[in-house]
A and B are shown apart, each in its own frame.
Chain A
Amino acid sequence: MLIEFFFALRGAGLPVSLGEFLLLLQGLHARIAFLSATDFYHLARTALIKDERHYDAYDRVFARYFSGAQEAFAKFMAQVPPEWLQRAAGRKLSAEERAQIQALGGWEELLRTLRERLAEQAEAHSGGNKWIGTGGTSPFGAYGYNPEGVRIGQAQRGSGRAVKVWDQRDFSDLDDSRELDTRNFKMALRRLRRFAREGAAEELDLEGTISATARNAGLLDLRMQPERHNAVKLLLLLDVGGSMDAHVSLCEQLFSAARSEFRHLQHYYFHNFTYEQLWRSNARRQEQRLPTLELLRSYSRDYRVIFVGDASMSPYEIIQPGGSVEHWNEESGATWLSRFVRAVPRLVWLNPEPQSRWHYTDSVQMTRDLVGGRMFPLTVGGIAAAMDSLRRTGDQPLALAPLSDSMSASTALE
């Protein structure tokens, strides 16, 4: 039966290997844990899970598998958007959500209603997960106000239900689908770091000198070596459109993390989507504009490009020439983005909107298709995946349908 448990863990995306599983069986055989479910839970976690970020997922699989309570699992899976687990939740709402909250009578009102509903639910005693899971109908469902998530579920616990260790989900803050601080961003960005030795010989290679001298029977033979430095060049393109206001602090964190992690880092801003111009400083965007074509020419192919934007806008802004909200663009945003994709083989798009909401917005889907599927959420896990993608992609651009008008368009502009 444990084999099914093993596959359940793998099915939940946990990187569990056969060796580790055999180790667990060995441990059971050696009777490190027996006759106690809690001990088994701990032993299996020690043997199979190698990162505290995965503890939360492990708890969920364990709960589903060993209690067999399908209902309980459905509740856990009721998509608690991770930002609701943060205390500073209020500052991270998108404009649209803020409007909806206002419509319901403001934040205080909303929380008060929620508390009342929860009280009702405790009295009724019938699995509260039902109406929390219904999605669109209740505002709480839609917002993912899972009582486990915001910890207003105390009343439920008091109603005599035993909460097991794995049911407590104590490790949900460590789950890597959550946004974390700069330091974690740095860790994720660090994946891209590639050291190279280039340039003139600069430092004394002590090891080399010793071995060369020893081989030389004691005649001193000095060896020099070039200094090691981070050879990755990064171009960061940030959306500063109105809908991005809600994500400012997140983007700031990413920016400061990237700044300290990469020596060759350039950044430019755009509004909603890429058109023929970008700017360097947001305060002086009227004076300091750079034609996108010049940017594409001046940054060599070894630059990696990261777009940061929520890609949430009217589809016209992408596909329609003249669709931009703030100026008349001769060519559509899609044309410009495809030019990027063709000019820079290593490119990703980071989207601060939670991934679960992407498919509600057409423009996100369109942008995602334009960048060849390389859109990742702006979370630690997402950045890590994006960095892996940047690292893997070779110098060849992705095979995309040729855009016949691109050459004529660029010559026309020149």
Chain B
Amino acid sequence: MNELRFSGSDRYVATDELMVAVNAAITLSRPLLIKGEPGTGKTQLAEEIARALGLPLFEWHIKSTTKAQQGLYEYDAVSRLRDSQLGDARVADIGNYIVKGRVWEAFACEQRPVLLIDEIDKADIEFPNDLLRELDRMEFYVQETRELVKALHRPIILITSNNEKELPDAFLRRCFFHHIRFPDAATMQQIVEVHFPGLKKALLAEALQAFFRVRETPGLKKKPSTSELLDWIKLLVADDLGPEALRATDGRGLPPLHGALLKNEQDVHLVEQLLFLSRRAR
């Protein structure tokens, strides 16, 4: 049995449920599919697992045009054609024109690697289906060279999704699944302390309160998330604002530097109106 076990790191606060999911994926060598609100640290998780366990990390960022084949390998026919016209000797071996993709690199790694397939939902609907065998058996066949590539060590595969497309059932059945919940106030405090050690208690409490107040505004188009909170605190620290400044708020009742938290105009107006109403009610 593999002894690798992930239990968070000094830079990443993992909840118990997340640790169970990650350890299940590591122990049983199954891919782990991570979903959650944007900005809750889905992508960081892979980096932190690799760092905490001291493993190499391979990242494969998916775009709308990405094909499953590109993760395995690509056959560079154009170079070969050019070489053939120039009379290059390399042309005889087709293997010279097979370009390895991220999945192949991870499979060929001498050590057990971490493979991140980032934002799988951005790709075409068929994309996950094209990777079924690769994720299940951890092997694939290279047509051009008639070679079977097998993973030396089954990589720890993390897949993130923002829910833009539904993933096919057959794919889901092969994965573990975890939905990262938005952290509660206590966890959030831990997270901020990890990122800004030595932040004044008073400022932190005040900032978190303001943050959750904004976040709980009903009807926000984009709720601020962990990464936005961290950015905001970074700005507060950079501007050397104290807890009093946070309480003071500007003329319209919004917390200072709210631009880091609210990313669209309608949301700013909404919060403004609600704060105005609540002040009048008092």
Contacts and interface: CB of A to CB of B under 8 A. Distances in A.
A190 B173 CA distance: 22
B77 A46 contact: no
A39 B16 contact: yes
Contacts, number: 77
Interface residues of A, number: 35
B173 A20 contact: yes
A122 interface: no
B24 A15 contact: no
Interface size range on B against A: 35 or more
A42 interface: yes
Contacts of A17: 173
A51 interface: yes
Interface in B1-52: 1, 16-17, 20-21, 23-24, 27-28, 30, 32-33, 35
Interface in A278-306: none
B140 interface: no
B126 to A, nearest CB: 11
Q: Is the interface of A mostly helix, strand, loop or mixed?
A: helix
Interface stretch (B103-111, B164-172, B238-246): B164-172
Contacts of B175: 50
A311 to B, nearest CB: 29
Interface in A18-39: 19-20, 23, 26-27, 30, 32-33, 38-39
A73 to B, nearest CB: 22
Contacts of B179: 52, 55, 171, 174
Interface of A: 15, 17, 19-20, 23, 26-27, 30, 32-33, 38-39, 42-43, 45-47, 49-52, 55, 87-88, 170-171, 174, 187, 190-191, 210-211, 213-214, 218
Interface of B: 1, 16-17, 20-21, 23-24, 27-28, 30, 32-33, 35, 77-78, 80-81, 84-85, 163-167, 169, 172-173, 175-179, 181, 218-219
19 contacts: A17-B173, A23-B28, A23-B176, A27-B27, A27-B28, A32-B23, A42-B20, A42-B21, A46-B21, A46-B178, A49-B177, A50-B33, A50-B172, A174-B179, A187-B163, A191-B166, A211-B77, A214-B80, A218-B81
